A and B are shown apart, each in its own frame.
Chain A
Amino acid sequence: MIADIDLHNLTVGMELPARAWTAGFEVWNRFAAVNDEFVPIHMDDDAGRAAGYDGAFGMGYLQWSWVHDVLRDFVGDRGRIDRVQGSFRAPSLKGAEVTAGGQVRGVSTVDGRLVVDVVLWTRTGDGVELLPGTATVSFPVD
Chain B
Amino acid sequence: MSAPASHVSEAMRNAVGRTVSRRVSFPVAASDIRKWAIAVYFPHRPPARYWDEEAHGGRLIAPQEFNPFAWMTAEPKGFPVIDRLDADILEKTLGIEGPGLTRQLNGGLDVQYLYDFGTGDVITAVRVLDGYREREGRLGRMLFTTVRETWTDQDGRTLQIRLQTGIRY
Asked if A30 contacts B42 (CB within 8 A), the reply is yes
CB of A68 closer than 8 Å to a CB of B: yes
Asked if A88 contacts B42 (CB within 8 A), the reply is no
Asked if A19 contacts B44 (CB within 8 A), the reply is yes
Chain B interface mostly helix, strand, loop or mixed? mixed
A104 to chain B, nearest CB (A): 19
Produce 1/0 per residue, B19-62, CB < 8 A to A.
Answer: 00000000000001001101111111001010000000000000
CB of A72 closer than 8 Å to a CB of B: yes
Asked if B49 contacts A82 (CB within 8 A), the reply is no
Q: How many residues of B contact A (CB 8 A)?
A: 31
Asked if B71 contacts A31 (CB within 8 A), the reply is no
11 contacts between A and B (CB under 8 A): A35-B36, A36-B70, A61-B67, A64-B65, A69-B40, A69-B41, A84-B111, A86-B108, A87-B108, A88-B105, A88-B107
Residues of chain B whose beta carbon lies under 8 Å from any beta carbon of chain A: 32, 35-36, 38-44, 47, 49, 63-65, 67, 70-71, 84-85, 103, 105-113, 116
Residues of chain A whose beta carbon lies under 8 Å from any beta carbon of chain B: 1, 19, 21, 26-27, 30-31, 33-36, 39, 51, 60-62, 64-66, 68-69, 72, 77, 80-88, 133
8 tightest Cβ-Cβ pairs between the two chains A and B: A65-B40, A87-B108, A30-B39, A85-B110, A36-B70, A34-B39, A36-B71, A60-B106
